[in-house]
Chain A
Amino acid sequence: MKIVRFISISCKESTQLSTKKLEQKLSWKEAILLQCHVFICTPCRYFQQQVNAIHTSIRNMISNDKILNTKLSEEKKIDMQAALTKAQSEIQTN
């Protein structure tokens, strides 16, 4: 049993490695442990696949989403500029 424990990792550890893998290269040992685990563990296989998809979707959202294309309207800019100038002159007169 000890040898099994030595070469196997828990679901918690496997999800940790899946997380890490998204940000950096795993060591060969980590990579093998993760591969072996997800090969036999269906929930962790789903986890890895889905977390990858979520990661990609956040990147997609930021680059494709209207967020990136949303800009202040010219009117709003003028409003803001006016409010700022007004506040600034109030500060200076005080």
Chain B
Amino acid sequence: MNLLQPAKWVELYGDYLLKFALFRLNDVALCEDLVQETFLAGLKASENFKGESSEKTWLTNILKNKIIDEYRKKSRSKITETETQQEETDFSDFFEKNENDYGHWQTEQKPIAWEKSILDKMVTQEYYQVLKRCMSKLPELQFNLIQEKFFIENDPKNICKKYNITQSNYWVMIHRVHIVLRKCIEINWVK
């Protein structure tokens, strides 16, 4: 218990945790509630805190689980849909796969041109909504990688260690994220 300083949590980590939650969920009120729940859960579980990670990391992990629960609650069907995707790392849903083939795009997966006007609008709130929605559809682990990379600005080596994956595995997943995200944005934003 003396390892933790719950009295200072709100001041020290409140804003950070709120931002962390908002990166995934767009609802400010909901995110505030989750942050509060995180603090209370942290307090209850304080005996489990062994000081192996920082207080901040520890609380962030609790929040992360709360966010995942929130997604489960929101749409069970969506979660199962993305969980089945998790295994698809052979990319055969995007690229042709037969002996004589050199891995060309599946006809319906070929990227189409995005007009300059579309590229220019990639700084608007409407676009960010689409981007977030597309990111939230990613499988759990892939989303975490993106969050680590962009939000926490962790480098690939550390990310691999943290999630216990190999470098090549990391690249396969990031590759997949790019393909899937691009397609999702094309469908929901460009067309």
Contact = CB atoms under 8 A, between A and B. Distances in A.
Interface of A: 5, 8, 10-13, 15-16, 18-20, 23, 43-44, 46-47, 49-51, 53-54, 56-62, 64-65, 67-68, 70-72, 76-77, 79-81, 83-85, 87-88, 91
Interface string B21-64: 01100001000100110011001100000000000000000000
A90 to B, nearest CB: 9
A25 to B, nearest CB: 14
A68 B14 CA distance: 13
Contacts of A50: 111, 114, 182, 185-186
Contacts of A68: 19
B119 interface: yes
Contacts of A77: 10-11, 14
Interface residues of B, number: 51
23 contacts: A10-B102, A11-B95, A11-B105, A12-B94, A12-B95, A13-B103, A15-B179, A43-B110, A47-B182, A50-B114, A50-B182, A54-B182, A54-B185, A61-B132, A67-B22, A70-B18, A70-B28, A72-B14, A76-B32, A84-B6, A85-B7, A91-B43, A91-B44
A71 B15 contact: yes
Question: Which of A44, A60, A67, A71 lies at the interface centre, i.e. has the most chain B CB atoms within 10 A of its CB?
Answer: A67
A51 B28 contact: no
B39 A80 contact: yes
Contacts of A81: 10
Interface string B85-116: 00000010011000000111100001111100
Given A53-B122, A58-B131, A15 B10 contact: no
B113 A46 contact: yes
Closest 10 CB pairs of A and B: A10-B103, A12-B103, A46-B111, A10-B102, A43-B110, A12-B95, A57-B122, A72-B14, A19-B175, A47-B111
Given A11-B104, A54-B182, A16 B171 contact: yes
A54 B188 CA distance: 14
A53 B127 CA distance: 12
A53 B122 CA distance: 8
Contacts of A49: 114
B36 A80 contact: yes
